[in-house]
Amino acid sequence: AQKITQTQPGMFVQEKEAVTLDCTYDTSDQSYGLFWYKQPSSGEMIFLIYQGSYDEQNATEGRYSLNFQKARKSANLVISASQLGDSAMYFCAMRGYQAGTALIFGKGTTLSVSS
Amino acid sequence: DSGVTQTPKHLITATGQRVTLRCSPRSGDLSVYWYQQSLDQGLQFLIQYYNGEERAKGNILERFSAQQFPDLHSELNLSSLELGDSALYFCASSASGVYNEQFFGPGTRLTVL
């Protein structure tokens, strides 16, 4: 079965600092996608970044980068230069063929950015 | 704006009742997914439809059902509601394949009293 593990319930960071949110995954699929979503207090789910299992380069989207280590089955999200607006819940998710291409989510990490 | 619409935004009802949640996917997306987010269970996949046909089932209760219509909008029906069904219900749509991100609607917050 597919599983996503996020071991950090909460993280605290100061503005302008970088922060890494951990994510490990388990799957027997050879082809899969790894995704990070942000959920602010307003509740919507915002797509941040994606990494394909066959991508050799780590994905980057602006201040977000995904540190993909396939052998270790980890897909950590790195946010550079944190901003107050980054305070939110962050979910790591995986999409493979086992669940009909649905997303399997981790339990999330709450990020708090202070000034 | 993700392009996925959900109605209603909030729904308050009583135990034992039946409700219908509606979702319109992004233009061109054939797949619709329903997810439930609750404090104790987290974000859980309920069911997927692809071009009108059920494609996959997750942790969906027998009291819940869904369908996707020819115009690709989808409805999630929840019946014999219990207090524990109170949650945020998301609809998401995507293009096919595991490498495509899913775009989420704003969600319907269901409160069962």
The radius of gyration of chain A's CA atoms, rounded to the nearest angstrom, is: 14
- Residue A35 burial class via C-beta count within 10 angstroms: exposed 0-12, middle 13-18, buried 19 and up: buried
pLDDT at B13: 98
A31–B92: do the CB atoms touch at under 8 Å? no
pLDDT band of B2, cuts 50, 70, 90: confident
Instruction: Give the tokens for residue B17.
Output: 């009742």
Q: How many CB pairs under 8 A join A and B?
A: 72
Residue A100 touches partner B, C-beta closer than 8 Å: yes
> What's the gap in Å between the CA of A101 and the closest CA on chain B?
6
Among residues of chain B, what percentage have pLDDT more than 70? 99
| Interval B16-26 mean pLDDT | 97
pLDDT at B85: 97
**Residue in A47, A97, A102 closest to B45 by CB:** A102
**Helix intervals (H) in B13-104:** none
Largest CA-CA distance found in chain B, in angstroms, rounded = 40
How many of the other CB atoms lie within 10 Å of CB of A71? 5
| Interval B36-48 mean pLDDT | 93
pLDDT band of A100, cuts 50, 70, 90: low
What is the C-alpha end-to-end distance of chain B, expressed in Å?
31
pLDDT of B29 above 80: yes
pLDDT in tens, A51-97: 999 998 999 999 999 999 999 999 999 999 999 999 999 999 998 87
Integer Cα distance of B44 and A73 in angstroms: 22
A47–B58: do the CB atoms touch at under 8 Å? no
| Interval B9-28 mean pLDDT | 97
> What's the gap in Å between the CA of A89 and the closest CA on chain B?
12
Give phi and psi for A17, each to the nearest 5: -85, 160
pLDDT in tens, B54-78: 999 998 999 999 999 999 999 999 9
pLDDT at A99: 56
Q: Please report the beta strands in chain A, taking only residues with DSSP state E, as ranges in sequence order.
A: 3-5, 10-14, 19-21, 24-26, 33-39, 46-52, 60-61, 64-69, 74-79, 88-95, 103-105, 109-114
Q: How far, in whole angstroms, is CA A64 from its chain's centroid? A: 10
| Interval B31-40 mean pLDDT | 94
Residue B80 touches partner A, C-beta closer than 8 Å: no
pLDDT band of A98, cuts 50, 70, 90: low
pLDDT at B77: 98
